[in-house]
Amino acid sequence: MKRKVIQIANSTQLVSLPRKWCQSHGIKKGDELDVIEEQNSISVRVNTGNKEPERVVVDASGLGSATLSLVSALYKGGYDEFKVIFSSANELKYIQTIVKDSCLGFEIVEQGKNFVIARKISEPIPEEFDAVLRRTFVFLQNMIKETLAAVKQCDDNALNTVIAMDASINKFTYFLRRVLNKHGHGPYRITSPLYYIVDELEEIADRYKYICRARIGATKPPNKSLLHLFEQVNQMVELLNSMFYKFEWKKLNEVYAIKNQITASTNDLIMKMSKSEVPVLLNLLVVADKVYELDGPLVLSRYHVEVEHLPPTEEKQ
What pLDDT is recorded for position 316? 42
Average pLDDT, the chain: 87
Provide the Cα torsion 15, 21, 24, 30; round to 10°.
Answer: 0
SS3 115: strand
Give the model's pLDDT for residue 240.
96
Type of residue at 196: Y
Quick one: average pLDDT of 186-203?
91
| pLDDT value for 123 | 73
Domains contained in the chain, CATH given: 12-50 (no CATH), 55-120 (3.30.1370.110), 126-302 (1.20.58.220)
Which of 37-46, 104-113, 234-243, 296-305 is predicted with the least confidence, judged by mean pLDDT?
37-46
Does the structure show a pLDDT above 80 at 7? no
Over 90: is that where the pLDDT of 15 sits?
Answer: no
- For residue 232, pLDDT over 90 is answered with yes
**What is the structure's pLDDT at 190?**
87
Q: Where are the beta strands (DSSP E) in 72-185?
A: 81-85, 106-111, 115-120
User: Given strand 106-111, what is the order of strands in its sheet?
Assistant: 55-59, 81-85, 115-120, 106-111
Decide: helix, strand or coil at residue 179.
helix
- Return left, alpha or beta for 203; rule: phi > 0 is left, psi -120 to 50 is alpha, else beta: alpha
The mean per-residue pLDDT over the stretch 176-204 comes to 90
81, pLDDT greater than 90: yes
**CA 209, CA 165: separation in Å to the nearest integer?**
9
Residue 16, pLDDT score: 82
Express each pLDDT in 260-308 by its tens digit.
999 999 998 888 888 999 999 999 999 999 999 999 999 988 876 544 5
| 306 DSSP 8-state letter | P
Question: Among the ranges 26-35, 116-125, 175-184, which has the highest mean pLDDT value?
Answer: 175-184
Higher pLDDT, 224 or 127: 224
Residues whose CB is less than 8 angstroms from the CB of residue 218 and which lie 6 or more positions away in sequence, other chains included:
151, 154, 276
Q: Which of 82-86, 180-184, 285-289 has the lowest mean pLDDT?
A: 180-184
Give the C-alpha separation, 120 to 303, whole Å: 35
In this prediction, residues 152-171 reach a mean pLDDT of: 95
